[in-house]
Copies of this chain bind each other. A is one copy, B any other.
């Protein structure tokens, strides 16, 4: 993988900054020590034919490299991790992939659902009526995840690509104190976020937003 470029949104409102899924790809690349450039697509331009040619759903991230074009944060992180012992030792591939799917298909759905309610549809009547049930679903999932982390610092015996997806999934409810309700889980997220590669990825994404921010009226 050479001449890597990562596509993200050129700017998003503060409530979404640090949550957009290209963060996962930047984090994986930083862990792997792979150099990359950033490309930015505007929220309005993402449905253009030109961009849809890169990403059929008009989403981010897209990773372009000498090996071709990849979409889907899970698949891109896996592709990077395949080339990097730090992210996914060969002997742990099946286990890492299991936890990558668990992060995106078992933990993220209820967590994302609460983000949608609280942030994207804040104040709407249906969101108010639905909230208590949605919170219960999140708590049940977090409780099970917290059990999995009993006696261990990461999802597997060491940090892997799965922790990138799990940590970034849990960040969708950073506006709540739900993760803090499970001290083991809160410590896990802090441990992952303290990694220099995460901090570099976050800075990288934020730098783009700062440069591309709309001029205040």
Taking Cβ atoms with an 8 Å cutoff, the residues of A that contact B are 52, 56-59, 70-75, 78-79, 94, 97-98, 100-102, 104-106, 108-109, 112-113, 124-127, 129-130, 141, 144-145, 147-148
Smallest distance from the beta carbon of A54 to chain B beta carbons, Å?
Answer: 13
Inter-subunit contact A75/B56 (CB<8 Å): no
CA distance A58 to B97 in the complex (A): 19
Smallest distance from the beta carbon of A92 to chain B beta carbons, Å?
Answer: 13
Which B residues touch A73, using CB under 8 A? Answer: 101, 105
Inter-subunit contact A105/B102 (CB<8 Å): no
Which B residues touch A113, using CB under 8 A? Answer: 113
Inter-subunit contact B56/A148 (CB<8 Å): yes
Which B residues touch A109, using CB under 8 A? Answer: 109, 112
A-B contact pairs, 18 of them (CB 8 A): A56-B145, A57-B106, A57-B141, A57-B145, A58-B144, A59-B106, A70-B94, A71-B102, A72-B101, A72-B102, A72-B105, A73-B105, A74-B105, A104-B104, A104-B105, A109-B112, A125-B126, A129-B129
